[in-house]
Amino acid sequence: MSIALKQVFNKDKTFRPKRKFEPGTQRFELHKRAQASLNSGVDMKAAVQLPNGEDLNDWVAVHVVDFFNRINLIYGTICEFCTERTCPVMSGGPKYEYRWQDDLKYKKPTALPAPQYMNLLMDWIEVQINNEDIFPTSVGVPFPKNFLQICKKILCRLFRVFVHVYIHHFDRIIIMGAEAHVNTCYKHFYYFVTELNLIDRKELEPLKEMTTRMCH
């Protein structure tokens, strides 16, 4: 992984600088290995399995950063159509509404328009993955004891981006010809979080029917 990003991010921009992996580090090699498996056409279910002899935390760290980069770009392709007028609440259809809480400004779950929720979400994840105490970049520095719990929360919140995009904005994805790309990213994400049990099954309910068609 790269040295923590020093720049101040423009809060109005949806496309953020990618968090990369330092060449020569074990995580860079794991990232290359994971990407090579996917690009070779290997079965996606097999590609997400923890390689023999590799550390679970490293494997999860690599994927969390990669999913953040990719899902952030997916939302970026439709963000101009996701406005406070079109999406006054962060939802996944009439049955599911997501409220924001961050223990800073929003100490209680708060209903927000989808674009505001998305910006807070991406900012929050960015802070986590650039925090050396959570995602250490130096060789030999251990992950914190609650690392997997933090990653579960990140992945759970990233899943909500898929929910909102698929249910409320998939027409734009189709118009832009990005359907296959988004579906592939979703399948990769779904297989990874279910293989390693990183998201509670009830969180996956909003896309259950679509997932059954796509992934089984």
Residue numbers in the known binding site are 82, 87, 164, 169
CB-CB neighbours of 168 under 10 Å:
19
SS3 call for 48: coil
**How many angstroms separate the CA atoms of 25 and 44, rounded?**
24
Q: What backbone phi and psi angles, to 5 degrees, belong to 110?
A: -125, 130
- In the numeric block, the tokens 């929720």 are attached to 117
- In the numeric block, the tokens 């990407």 are attached to 35
Sign of CA dihedral 28, 34, 38, 41: positive
Residues in binding site for Zn(2+): 82, 87, 164, 169
Sign of CA dihedral 83, 125, 32, 148: negative
Angle at 216 between CA 184 and CA 41, to 5 degrees: 40
